[in-house]
Each structure stands twice: as structure tokens, then as C-alpha cells.
Amino acid sequence: MLWPNHRRLAVLNQGGLQATLPYLTQLTQAWAKAGEDPESPIRAEAHELTGYMLANWPRELRHARNAPNAGATMLELLGRLGDAARTDDFLSEISAGGLFDLSDNEQIAQGLRRLPPSRAAELLERLVDNSTSAAIGAGLLARTVFAALGEFEMRPAAFALVATLPGDSTRKVELPSWQQPPPVDPQLVIDALTALCQIDAALAERAAGVFLGRPATYGADSVLVPASLALIQSVVAQAPAVARLRGACLAHLRARIAEPLAPPADWARDSKLSCGCRYCVELSRFLADPEAKTWNFKAAQHDRSHVESTIRASDCDVLTATIRRGSPHILECTKNEASYKRRARQCQKDLADLAHFGEDQG
């Protein structure tokens, strides 16, 4: 097959990113080796190639994820080439459409630094506002603060971040139906407060209010305590929002430590169940009985499986075993001290966390 030489890059681009990114890497290396002349034909060829690449870049998130790290690689190469125009094009046409993730944030932050301050501020706001999760937007803002604090205005992006925080009723991020909302983890809180405390203290306080006011979203043990422990070792340790979060976590730990903790005095156990059928009513009576340690439930497999399912769903202090003797078989239920042991382990962890906060149980 023959084609005009001047269309060589257009033909190469038909091979997709797996063909163009390695070739762009070669051009970038060749340009650096030749002395990095801004007027070099090699750089001109790289600029032309990136134009073709941008035109065909995947515009849907599900397709973009088939080429992980492609965005970060593209931005890194554009930075090495000193191509601010294409950097602007890529950030505005691709990244700002939500087509980036946590692995791209470092290169996006560096790319913004190569743009005029007003343009960088505008794009950062769009990037945070259009990110597919608050965690990605918070990570980008934190990374940009670290790389470029004071170089351009970041307050509009900070407002956008607070508006996207899960649990804030002023804004809900719409995700494609095929993409499940990402779970909230401590890093979201860490990145958000690290960035906001350095940009605008009032916005940081507002974000802290969201974190503390939505316990179903920001669990004290799963999210807030580990986030607070990390933040008190960070550059924003003395910020009012961080102090507020720390105080709430300390109160949570101290309240639980203060609760009485002792092994059960008899065999009575929590008898609240998620089901009220006749078999589960029998189970509930067994659980409430202070004298009964075991209960043999003789029934068909379907009914035995149902009772086992209720025990698991209600987190009962009961071990089960099937005795395969006779017909129907027997589900042997034996009470244990699982709840007490869990609470004892939790108490030890709470005391350790309290010590990490620099506090004791007094």
C-alpha cells in the first residue's frame, strides 16, 4: 500500500494510541538529543502528530480506561516538548471532560503550571467540577496546591470541590449508568482538607461540616479517624478545620471507651432479628434465654438455610453446624462471645488511636 509522505502521521494515527504514543516518545527523545531547538523539524513533527492524536482521542470514559496512563504520558511528553498550546488543548478538550483519574493528577498539575495564570485557574475549576468522583477532584486540587500554590488563583476550583463532596445536597455528580459510585475513603478527606486549608479556611470549615454531618457517608471509624490521624501529621495540622475534625474524633473514641465492657454474665444474647417468621421467632427465644447455650433446629434444608441466613444478617453471637444424621438434618446453634470479643478488640484499637492523637484515656 502506498500513501503520500505528507500523510504519514495521519496514517500512523489510525493505529491508535498504542502506535502513536511510542512514536511520540521517540520524537521527544530525538528532539532532546538534538539540542531541543524550538524551531527543529522534529519538534514540528511532534506538534503535528499530537494534533492528530487529540482529534481521535477516546471521548468516552469507558473507552479511555482501555488505555490507562495514556493521558499522563501524553501530558508528560508535551511538557518535555515545551508545547504549551497542545497542553492547553489536551487539558481543555480531553481532561476537562472528566477523562482523567488519580494517576493523571501529577501531570495535570504540572501541565497547568505551563499555562497563563488566568487560563490555569479556569481549567483547574473545570477539571475539579467535571471529575468523575470527588476523590479524583480532591486529589487533583491537593496535587496542584503542592505543585503551584500561589502561582494562580485556586479558589474557584476549591468552591467546585466543596460542591461535589458526597453528602452535600447542593450538587450530585452524575455518573454513567455502567459506573458505580466509588466508595468514600480517608484519602478523600485528607486531600480535600490538605488543599482547602491552604486555599480558603472558610471553605475548609465548610467541608469539615460536610464530613462530620454525614456519618452514613463518612464513617467515623472507616474514614474520619484514619484521615484525622494523617492530617495531624501534615502541613495543615494546625488549621481550624483539622482541629475540628480531630476534636470530633477524640470525642467519638472517648465515648466508646467509656462504655462498660465485660463478658456476658449468662447465655442471654441480643435477640433482635431481621426476620419475624415462625422459625426466626424460635431463634429469637433461644437467643433471649439466659440458660440455653445450644439449640437444635431440625427442619428441611430450605428452612435451615433461612435460619442460618438470619443469623448472619443479624450478626448473632451464634456458631452453626449441620448434623447430618437422620432426616431431616439438624442445624446445631451454639452461642458464643463474638460481640464481646469484637468490642474488646475495638477498645484496644480505640486506646491505640487515642495514643496516636497524643491523648490518653484520662
HEC string of 135-189 equals HHHHHHHHHHHHHHCCCCCCHHHHHHHHHHCCCCCCCCCCCCCCCCCCCCCHHHH
Which helix or strand (DSSP H or E) is residue 295 part of? strand 294-298
pLDDT at 176 over 50: yes
Q: For the chain, what is the mean pLDDT?
A: 91
Question: Mean of the pLDDT values across residues 285-291?
Answer: 97
In the structure, what pLDDT confidence band is assigned to residue 2 with cuts at 50, 70 and 90? Answer: very low
Residue with cell 475495638: 346
The pLDDT score that the predictor gives to residue 169 is 45
In the structure, what pLDDT confidence band is assigned to residue 359 with cuts at 50, 70 and 90? Answer: confident
- Amino acid type, 70: A
Report the candidate in 255, 257, 228, 248 with the shortest Cα–Cα distance to residue 348: 257
| Cα→Cα distances 353→133, 192, 225, Å | 29, 22, 8
pLDDT at 178 over 50: no
Question: Mean of the pLDDT values across residues 180-191?
Answer: 86
pLDDT at 361 over 80: no
| Cα→Cα distances 100→54, 65, 93, 148, 233, Å | 14, 9, 12, 19, 29
Q: Taking the chain, what is the end-to-end CA distance rounded to the nearest angstrom? A: 82
Contact assessment for residue 179 and residue 194, using Cβ atoms and an 8 Å cutoff: no
The pLDDT score that the predictor gives to residue 1 is 44
User: Please, where are the H alpha helices in the chain?
Assistant: 8-13, 17-33, 41-55, 61-64, 70-81, 84-93, 105-113, 117-130, 134-148, 155-164, 186-199, 201-213, 225-231, 240-257, 278-288, 301-313, 338-356
203 or 63, which is more confident: 203
Question: Mean of the pLDDT values across residues 70-88?
Answer: 95
pLDDT digits (tens, 9 = 90+) for 106-161: 999 999 999 999 999 999 999 999 999 999 999 999 999 999 999 999 999 999 99
The pLDDT score that the predictor gives to residue 4 is 47
In the structure, what pLDDT confidence band is assigned to residue 11 with cuts at 50, 70 and 90? Answer: confident
In the structure, what pLDDT confidence band is assigned to residue 170 with cuts at 50, 70 and 90? Answer: very low
